[in-house]
Amino acid sequence: MTERGSSDAGGIIGILFLLAVLGWVAAVLILPHMNMTNQEALGHRDAMHQIAGEMELHQADAETILVPRFDGSLNIFVNRRDFENVPYPDRNEIAAGISDMWCQQVSPFLLPAVHFRDIQTGSTLITRGCVFQSSPDITGNYSGTVHNNTVNVDSTFEVQLVKSTNGVRGCMQVELPLVGTGPINGTLNDRSIVVGLTSPDVRILFTGTRVGHSITGHYTVSSNGQTGTFTLHQDVPRVKNGFDPSNCPR
């Protein structure tokens, strides 16, 4: 009787497991065809706002429609001609950055994806799944703003970054009244980046986090203890071949 009881229990567990798997498969197949409710979409409004801003940078005059799906996927309807006018390497990087913005804040359980679709026909242009989504290539030209908290001063700056074997290296140029121009190098760990700038006048440590093609974080000036925050966004086109960080302006 004991052996039969164990066998029956095992059979029930097996049936329940099979039903759970079938339910998951059904959800994966059906839910991508259902739109999120307005209430559910509100939970993703920050990511959608970021994505809309990113698309506007690359398609300023084109209409973009974002439609979140019940399984956590996102349909992005764009003008095919404008989208395909972006050179392929840059287009692929744009898709990677936008997918990263969306995928890092949804559950991968139902295998969500980001689909770029033709706004006229609905046909798929690019699909990037969230399960195997990785951060986009960090190599590129960046521009942004920097704020010195200590003296309450803002400025703009530009950065060129190249991924290296041991991390990242590149050049930074900050506009007056702030200073901090010269070569930089540091470490890269998935979304986290730490780089240091050493010039004759100043040493600065920058610590940031990447989401899509943006880097935000804070910095500390080692010589005087001043602190601040910064925001960078990757520009198109990216860094040209032959870029040499050893020839940075100082």
Tokens of 11: 């059979």
180 torsion bin: left (phi>0), alpha (psi -120 to 50), beta (else)? left
pLDDT band of 139, cuts 50, 70, 90 = confident
E strand intervals along the chain: 65-68, 74-78, 113-118, 124-129, 140-148, 153-164, 167-174, 182-189, 192-198, 203-211, 214-221, 227-234
Is residue 146 within 8 A of residue 178, CB to CB? The reply is yes
Q: Indicate the range of 135-144, 153-162, 220-229, 231-240 predicted with least confidence.
A: 231-240
Q: Phi and psi at residue 8, in whole multiples of 5°?
A: -65, -40
Is residue 202 within 8 A of residue 223, CB to CB? The reply is yes
Q: Give me the CATH code for the 140-247 domain, please.
A: 2.40.128.120
Q: What is the pTM of this model?
A: 0.66
- pLDDT 10s digits, 101-119: 888 888 889 899 999 999 9
Tokens of 207: 């610590």
Residue 34 has pLDDT above 90, yes or no: no
- pLDDT 10s digits, 53-63: 878 776 656 67
Rounded distance between C-alpha atoms, residue 211 and residue 232, angstroms: 11
- pLDDT 10s digits, 204-218: 999 998 887 889 999
**Residue 242 DSSP code:** T
- pLDDT 10s digits, 15-33: 888 888 888 888 878 888 8
pLDDT at res. 127: 92
